[in-house]
Homo-oligomer: A and B are copies of this chain.
Amino acid sequence: MKIRHIAGLAALLPLAACSDRTPERPNIVFFLVDDFGWVDSSVQYGDELYPNNLRFNTPNMQRLSERSTVFGNAYACAVSTPTRTSIMTGMNAAHTHITNWTSAMRDTPSDATGGGFWMAENKGSGDAAAGDLLSRPDWNINGISPVPGVTHTQYANSLVQYLKDAGYFTVHVGKAHWASAGTPGVNAYNHGFCVNIAGTMAGMPRDYSGMDNYGNTKERWNDFAVQNLVEYYGTPTHLTEALTMEAFKALDYPIKHKQPFYLYLSSYATHTPIQPDERFAQKYRDAGMDEGQAAYASLVEGVDVSLGQVLDFLDEKGIADNTVIIFMTDNGGNSENKQKGGVLHTQNKPLREGKGSNYEGGIRVPLMICAPGRTRIGKCDVPVICEDMFPTILDIAGVRGWQSVQDVDGESIFPLVTGNGRGPSPERPLVFHYPHKWKPYDLEDIDFLSAIRIGDWKLVYRIKEGTRSQLESLSPEVREAARAAALELYNLKEDIGEENNVAARHPDVVKRLADTLSSRFRRWDTPMPIVVATGRPAPLPDEI
């Protein structure tokens, strides 16, 4: 049962009262990058610059960071759709029940099984294979929906609709990936966007190159072929560049008409396919990177150039001073794909693991916010999370008194940027949940993990171990070992790499975090994977 949420202390204003522009309504650019890791730029998000930071050429990210509040403890979900839908709804992914990415076509679970696949070409049922311990939970496989009654979706009012209702000209460019084709949620226009370029059900681009028509060729086509870019077919225009240019065209109208705008510029890069952007790749090869690493670094540099073009565009239009920029990534860097070169599972060092995982490598992400004239420039280490973007952006836009059908979990972090007002507490619990199997093979540090962070403490719940600890078919010894392995505790302040599980030394902390996590899951009726042997949901962390 959902209740209505009334934010802040502001009086309820009829939305129509917001329809004229005031100087308080800045333009907002949300620059969202894909699969781009925490250490994959020269920007220092951590306490120090790590070796990986030195491998990438990102002068424009650097330029933005020097005007921004740089969040060193910013989080997203472990994969794409949960983050993107949390941004749109303000809800935690364990609350939307959108805990995995959505497939291209509706009613198609993206969960892998023992022998299953999740590619569009080869849809898996998500059902358990013989020998699996767990099968997929009953999650919202169709994503979000702006209307009620659509099966397997989270019905919610979108951030963007509030902005549009408040007079913002709202522009979507790039990757959407909130919902599956064949549902209302897949259509950006249904969420309050005035313009949509290239946003579909696609979670990745079929092809980055205009020479391949971004995948729109008979020989090379699937649901991820990128739409709306026919101008560049047969030209060497890289996808990242094409999207950036289309964004500028879409902004022509609000700039001319002095309407505030919200640009959600959501790069498909640096998602797979890791194809080299030949504008930039050679210098990384020359620097000794292998082909995959060089290709990835070239995609990163393409994103950096795009950001620079945005900054230049705002300067040229004379609107930089009245435009807030949010730079973020949708999940951690991919460390489980051979295309990317290098050594698997090490790409986000010092962070453990990468995309898909609820270890830090999968969820800790770059985040910078620049509000010209109002920004406390420098690092901020208060932990923040993707669902905070919903109230944060409405806060920036000056939209007050909004009501939503959903309970919003996020809090505005804009006070952390400006120093005005109270931001979220550093001790606020942040919750992560990935009750899925990612790939046909087992990935012990990715599949079926939940986590919670409170202050410097982080608890990781290994659902498979928790399940084994309850299985009566197993021996007491095996069950006890599983119980001991199910809950890991890390002190992130001292151990950012999550190398030292200190659960045994801090049973009180483990219990407090496990209780909080379980309590959230109960409140949100969070789906757990199904134990194949019993047909019942896997246990919550406080049940083991």
Q: Which residues of A contact B (CB under 8 A)?
A: 19, 105-106, 164, 167, 169, 181-184, 186-187, 189-190, 194-196, 200-201, 213, 216, 218, 221-223, 227-228, 230-235, 246, 249-250, 252-253, 256-257, 259
Contact = CB atoms under 8 A, between A and B. Distances in A.
A173 to B, nearest CB: 11
Contact of A228 (B184, B196, B231): B196
Given A167-B257, A221-B221, A222-B218, A230 B181 contact: yes
A187 to B, nearest CB: 4
A181 B233 contact: yes
Contacts of A164: 252-253
A133 B307 CA distance: 57
Nearest to A120: B218
A182 B19 contact: no
Counting every copy of the chain, the complex holds 2
Given A19-B256, A256-B19, A106 B227 contact: no
B230 A200 contact: yes
Contacts of A235: 182
A159 to B, nearest CB: 17
Contacts of A182: 230-235
A186 B218 contact: no
A201 B181 contact: no
A111 to B, nearest CB: 20
Contact of A230 (B167, B194, B201, B213): B201
Nearest to A121: B218
Nearest to A185: B231
A181 B234 contact: yes
Nearest to A232: B182
18 contacts: A105-B233, A106-B233, A164-B252, A167-B257, A169-B253, A181-B213, A181-B234, A182-B230, A182-B234, A182-B235, A190-B231, A194-B195, A194-B250, A194-B253, A196-B228, A201-B230, A218-B222, A227-B227
Report which residue of A221, A230, A249 has the largest number of chain B beta carbons within 10 angstroms of its beta carbon: A230
A386 B253 CA distance: 28
A241 B221 CA distance: 26
A249 B195 contact: no
Given A218-B221, A223-B216, A230 B186 contact: yes
A231 B196 CA distance: 13
Contact of A231 (B184, B216, B223): B184
Contacts of A218: 221-222
Contacts of A201: 230
B194 A231 contact: no
A416 to B, nearest CB: 32
Nearest to A226: B227
